[in-house]
């Protein structure tokens, strides 16, 4: 059977190398993975303690409405329960948005490079892709606004942006929303929201009432450390959310994932620990880069994109052989650099030594 024509020019998403695969391939006993922006500090101990109590009823379908999680999250965010759409990670909500609003004859606008699933899912729906290059790692909002036309259905804003980590300042975001036609969805992907410097927090949820075409995406995969359980969500107007929940599969998040996310929300101590450790270790890594003469993008996430005098693949290979997995810029649409997740203090010190040794050879 022949699939859609667009699939001839597409390929499946390629995740970063897995720890066990690298161990087997290179004969290493220890691997530090700093490639997928997972939480190096794990997840809430309260979630760990609660999971054994979630195992009853695995033969029963989960609550498709995710009522308990919905109620707690709505209270946490200060929104109505009817404004929430849950997904198997926020990337599923991206897919839901594309299936709901995009089709042949429409277009969608995004930065480049940015999170690749916007483009991937939009292409599957037959939409035209309009990509606007970043400027020094930041969204070129004026050019993105100028690209909007009558066929535009969605504009994607990733803030902090993946892979550069750059944050769209609140004033610039508001200016964009003011200029964007009300019939065009503005999707603000805040997967790394919990890592943003508190002094720069855009408090984007407060903008939803004034801008009904705004959709905000967040996730429990990053700062909350629940990447394996796949829980993300969208926050939007009741009208938009109604459409998204028509598209959404009926049982797309499990009972264990829902209850784990519910428990994680309440453990503010773990989230604070993650925030503080990430901030401390990221600043130290920035200091190292400055001393080593390496440039990088300002990052409000749990990773740093470091520019290199060589290809990203070269440093990737060197670090891989020495037990560290990072993400090459070549794989992210940004050559001559690497994206490095901020790890524990001990791991970052070891990584810095390896990078220093590598630079001495080039």
**Separation CA 175–CA 59 (nearest Å):** 50
pLDDT at 20 over 90: no
CATH of 15-36+269-360, one of 3.30.1370.60, 3.30.565.10, 3.90.1150.10, 3.40.50.300: 3.90.1150.10
Quote the mean pLDDT of the chain. Answer: 95
Q: What is the mean pLDDT of residues 152-179?
A: 98
Domain ranges in the chain are: 15-36+269-360, 45-266
Q: Which residues contact 17 (CB under 8 A, 6 or more apart)?
A: 33, 35, 320, 325
Read off the pTM: 0.94
5-19, 111-125, 182-196: lowest mean pLDDT where?
5-19
Q: What is the mean pLDDT of residues 269-294?
A: 98
Q: What is the mean pLDDT of residues 226-232?
A: 97
* CATH C-level class of 45-266: alpha beta
| pLDDT of amino acid 17 | 62
Q: Pick from 20, 16, 21: which is nearest to 36 by CA?
A: 16
**Separation CA 190–CA 175 (nearest Å):** 18
pLDDT at 18 over 80: no
């Amino acid at each position: 059977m022949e699939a859609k024509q667009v699939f001839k020019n597409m390929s499946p998403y390629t995740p970063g190398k897995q720890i066990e695969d690298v161990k087997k391939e290179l004969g290493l006993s220890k691997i530090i993975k700093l490639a997928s922006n997972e939480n190096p500090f794990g997840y809430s101990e309260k979630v760990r303690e609660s999971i054994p109590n979630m195992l009853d009823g695995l033969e029963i379908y989960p609550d498709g409405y995710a009522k308990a999680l919905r109620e707690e999250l709505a209270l946490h965010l200060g929104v109505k329960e009817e404004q929430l759409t849950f997904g198997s990670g926020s990337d599923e909500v991206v897919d839901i948005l594309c299936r709901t609003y995009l089709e042949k004859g429409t277009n969608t606008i995004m930065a480049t490079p940015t999170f690749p699933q916007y483009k991937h899912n939009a292409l599957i729906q037959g939409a035209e892709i309009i990509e606007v290059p970043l400027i020094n790692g930041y969204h070129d909002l004026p050019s993105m606004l100028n690209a909007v036309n009558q066929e535009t259905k969605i504009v994607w804003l990733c803030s902090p942006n993946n892979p550069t980590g750059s944050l769209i300042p609140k004033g610039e975001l508001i200016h964009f929303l003011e200029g964007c036609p009300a019939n065009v969805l503005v999707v603000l992907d805040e997967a790394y929201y919990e890592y943003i410097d508190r002094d720069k927090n855009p408090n984007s949820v407060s903008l939803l009432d004034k801008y009904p075409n705004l959709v905000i995406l967040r996730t429990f995969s990053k700062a909350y450390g629940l990447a394996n359980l796949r829980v993300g969500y969208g926050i939007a107007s009741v009208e938009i959310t109604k459409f998204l929940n028509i598209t959404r599969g009926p049982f797309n998040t499990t009972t264990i994932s829902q209850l784990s996310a519910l428990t994680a929300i309440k453990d503010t101590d773990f989230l604070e620990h993650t925030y503080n450790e990430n901030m401390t270790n990221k600043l130290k890594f920035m200091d190292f880069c400055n001393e080593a003469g390496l440039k990088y993008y300002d990052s409000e996430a749990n990773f740093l994109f470091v520019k290199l005098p060589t290809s990203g693949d070269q440093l990737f290979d060197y670090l891989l052989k020495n037990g560290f997995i990072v993400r090459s810029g070549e794989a992210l649409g940004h050559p001559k650099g690497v994206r490095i997740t901020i790890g524990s203090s001990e791991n970052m010190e070891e990584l810095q030594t390896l990078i220093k040794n590598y630079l001495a050879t080039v």
